[in-house]
Amino acid sequence: MVPLSWYILLGVVLFVVGAAGVLLRRNILVVLMSLELLLNSVNINFIAFGHYHGDLRGRIFAIFVIAITAAEVAVALGILVALVRNKSTLKVDDVTMMKG
């Protein structure tokens, strides 16, 4: 069988890649996609721990994470569409309307 640490390492690599996308990219769409990547790496960890410890709660929490992710993406893309309609930009640095 595949050792548990391999799954954890895959989660670590995907998390670092997703965090790099969130922190380094300036395009809002790519930042949102990298957030999805972060949540998926956490899901891998949940299911791997649940599988190797014989616990169903890992899968339950993964289901909740997927549901909350769907809600988050819907709201974020709605905000993005409203933002592009008001201020035609996709760069994170240009969105400083809330700054005093």
Partner 1 sequence: MHLMCGTIANPVDSGRAIVRVGAASMGQGFFLLFAAVSVITALTVVLARNPIHSALALMACFLQISAIFVLLGAPLLAVIQIFVYVGAIMVLFLFVIMMIDVREAVLQRFVPGGNLPALVLLGLLGIEMLALVLWSDRFSATEPVAVSSGDEVRQLGTTLFADYLLPFEVASVILLAALVGAIVLARRESG
Beta bridge pairs of residue 91: 27
Q: Nearest Cα to 31, choosing from 67, 78, 80, 85? A: 80
87 touches partner 1 (CB under 8 A): no
Q: How far is the CB of 15 from partner 1 (least distance, A)?
A: 7
Kindly state the DSSP code that residue 96 receives in the 8-state scheme. Answer: -
CB of 65 to partner 1, least distance (A): 10
How far apart, in whole angstroms, are the C-alpha atoms of residue 94 and residue 100?
Answer: 14
Q: Summarize as ranges the residues that interact with partner 1 (CB under 8 A).
A: 1-10, 12-21, 23-27, 29-30, 32-34, 36-37, 40, 43-44, 47-48, 50-54, 56-57, 59-60, 62-64, 66-75, 77-82, 84-85, 88, 90-91
